[in-house]
């Protein structure tokens, strides 16, 4: 029989740890300033009353710090999101700014082990001042970095998302870089180390916002997938992202009800100007093709010359990769290649089909992109797509020239369906550019300007004839030319057929071994 006194003691201890955390005054101050504690983040993110804690009574390994470190700076356990189980943990800034120490990182590693064994997603809330000193300076600390290295070999067997909720340095910033999806709340900071350390080490003075604020990472570095204005927006984004994914790499992504008609859509083609040099917003085309209100853009403000996202089509989860001529003419530059690889890695890891919508004039050229490793990123993207085991479908919307056509999963790539709209142009080079390059010197020798222009346009038409999609269809470089209004229905039909495919085991999905950062 259980001793009632011992049970009462257990409950009292647990209540004290969970209510007082690192100090009632610290909890009260956070409340007064409108900030959430890690326990509030976890409870507000999970389904109501589903959190079950692991490691409630953990504390610092240092005897003199035990009474000051309930939870040792890390709080975590299990719960459900939309009735699906998840593992969740995060930094408790009421205990030494949520700094990483030996017992706290053991707890993170334990939760990681459990998530992998249970086959459930991991959600991490990051807000820490870095490693705790002197805990990590001695032999015990330096020899035990916690679960970080284990997470580095996760191989995407379970999805992992991070929400950066405050100043995130060291361990929590590293965990964000190891995640499949990263959301960052405005006002927070994400960096390897604090700007205060910069100043001491190098004399450089820089603000938290300038070194690692939302706009820096959403627009410049691409180290986050979404910047949000509030915690609630962040919770919703992660919940939505998880809804597209299976709980683990062995399961199939959940299928939902189809939202929107699969019938012929006569207005779709009207969204795309016939003239190849006119810009338009590809997002409108994507939203018309996928199920209603199902598009979740990934990195919407980074490398805007491509649109990447998760969506549903005929109820199936899909990744979407599309050139966006509204920005940089839809060319592929190093940042666009990086963005595409990140999404392809996640889709391949969890066996989610990818839809490519191509309207691409080529790879970006010039000094800037050459110095930003255009060659490296272009070929790395080709390498990724050639090794992608997830099924892919491609539609050429308006144009696709040069190697960029292959890079957008066109002819001679592993696509299981390659389609084109009837007005599209597919070839080695834009006809006008090709004529200028190939016949420039010949045209220059014609003295009369009208005759020269007439001759140039004749050559453009002749070269252009070889770029019409019927030439590609005639040699089986594309599978079919389709009515633009039938695009959604054609892709939906293919996805229905692909549902019967043989699915490779997780270890046979090459991109599951690739980093997503």
- 269-314, pLDDT tens digit by residue? 999 998 888 999 999 999 999 999 999 999 999 999 999 999 999 9
Question: What is the bridge-based pairing of β-strands 296-297 and 226-228?
Answer: unpaired
The answer to whether 185 touches 231, Cβ cutoff 8 Å, is yes
Angle among Cα 56, 62, 66 to the nearest 5 degrees reads 45
More confident residue, 151 or 328: 328
Is the pLDDT higher at 457 or at 263?
A: 263
- By the 10 Å C-beta count (0-12 exposed, 13-18 middle, 19+ buried), 19 is classed as exposed
- pLDDT of residue 141 exceeding 70, the answer is no
Percent of the chain with pLDDT over 70: 89
| Chain Cα centroid distance, residue 292 | 21
Under DSSP, the state recorded for 219 is: I
Considering the entire predicted model, what is its pTM?
0.91
More confident residue, 60 or 142: 60
Reference 422, options 482, 360, 466, 356; nearest CA is: 482
Beta-sheet strands, E only, within 290-445 = 296-297, 306-313, 316-323, 354-360, 392-401, 417-420, 425-427
- Residue 48 pLDDT: 97
97 has a pLDDT exceeding 60: yes
- In terms of residues, how long is the chain? 517
DSSP label of 470: H
CA–CA separation, 304 and 323 (whole Å): 9
Residue 89 in this model has a pLDDT that exceeds 90: yes
Check pLDDT > 50 for residue 435. Answer: no
Give percent of the chain above pLDDT 90.
67
Per-residue pLDDT reduced to its tens digit, 359-418: 999 899 899 999 999 999 999 999 999 999 999 999 999 999 888 999 999 988 999 999
What sign results for the dihedral spanned by CA atoms 469, 475, 477, 480? positive
103-112, 218-227, 248-257: least confident range: 103-112
Least confident of 153-167, 239-253, 467-481: 467-481
**Predicted local confidence at residue 154, as pLDDT:** 84
Q: What is the mean pLDDT of the chain?
A: 89
């Amino acid at each position: 029989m259980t001793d009632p006194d011992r049970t009462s003691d257990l409950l009292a201890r647990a209540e004290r740890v969970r209510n007082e955390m690192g100090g009632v005054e610290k909890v009260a101050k956070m409340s007064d300033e409108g900030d959430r504690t890690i326990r509030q983040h976890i409870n507000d993110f999970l389904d109501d009353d589903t959190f079950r804690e692991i490691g409630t009574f953990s504390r610092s390994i240092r005897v003199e710090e035990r009474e000051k470190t309930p939870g040792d700076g890390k709080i975590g356990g299990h719960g459900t999101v939309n009735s699906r189980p998840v593992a969740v943990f995060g930094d408790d800034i009421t205990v030494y700014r949520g700094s990483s120490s030996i017992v706290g990182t053991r707890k993170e590693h334990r939760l990681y082990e459990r998530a992998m064994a249970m086959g459930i997603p991991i959600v991490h809330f990051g807000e820490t001042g870095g490693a705790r000193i002197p805990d990590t300076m001695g032999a015990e600390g330096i020899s035990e970095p916690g679960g970080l290295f284990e997470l580095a070999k996760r191989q995407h067997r379970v999805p992992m998302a991070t929400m950066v909720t405050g100043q995130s340095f060291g361990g929590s910033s590293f965990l964000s870089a190891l995640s499949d999806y990263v959301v960052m709340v405005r006002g927070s900071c994400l960096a390897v180390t604090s700007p205060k350390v910069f100043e001491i080490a190098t004399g450089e003075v820089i603000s938290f916002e300038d070194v690692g604020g939302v706009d820096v990472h959403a627009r410049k570095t691409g180290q986050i997938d979404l910047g949000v204005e509030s915690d609630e927006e962040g919770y919703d984004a992660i919940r939505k992202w998880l809804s597209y994914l299976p709980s683990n790499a062995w399961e199939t992504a959940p299928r939902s009800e189809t939202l929107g008609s699969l019938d012929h859509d006569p207005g779709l083609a009207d969204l795309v100007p016939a003239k190849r040099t006119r810009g338009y917003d590809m997002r409108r085309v994507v939203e018309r093709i996928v199920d209603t209100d199902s598009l979740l853009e990934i990195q919407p403000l980074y490398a805007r010359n491509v649109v990447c996202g998760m969506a549903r089509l005929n109820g199936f989860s899909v990744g979407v990769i599309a050139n966006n001529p509204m920005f940089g003419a839809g060319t592929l530059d190093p940042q666009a290649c990086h963005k595409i690889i990140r999404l392809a890695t996640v889709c391949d890891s969890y066996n989610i089909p990818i839809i490519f919508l191509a309207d691409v004039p080529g790879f970006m050229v010039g000094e800037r992109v050459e110095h930003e490793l255009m060659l490296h990123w272009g070929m790395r993207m080709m390498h990724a797509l050639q090794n992608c085991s997830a099924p892919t479908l491609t539609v050429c919307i308006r144009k696709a020239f040069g190697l960029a056509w292959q890079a957008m999963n066109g002819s001679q790539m592993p696509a299981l369906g390659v389609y084109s709209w009837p007005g599209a142009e597919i070839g080695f080079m834009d006809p006008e550019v090709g004529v200028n390059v190939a016949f420039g010197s010949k045209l220059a020798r014609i003295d009369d300007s009208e005759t020269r222009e007439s001759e140039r346009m004749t050559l453009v038409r002749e070269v252009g004839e070889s770029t019409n999609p019927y030439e590609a269809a005639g040699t089986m470089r594309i599978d079919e030319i389709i009515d633009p209004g039938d695009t959604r229905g054609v892709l939906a039909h293919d996805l229905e057929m692909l549902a019967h495919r043989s699915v490779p085991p997780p270890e046979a999905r090459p991109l599951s071994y690739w980093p997503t950062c």
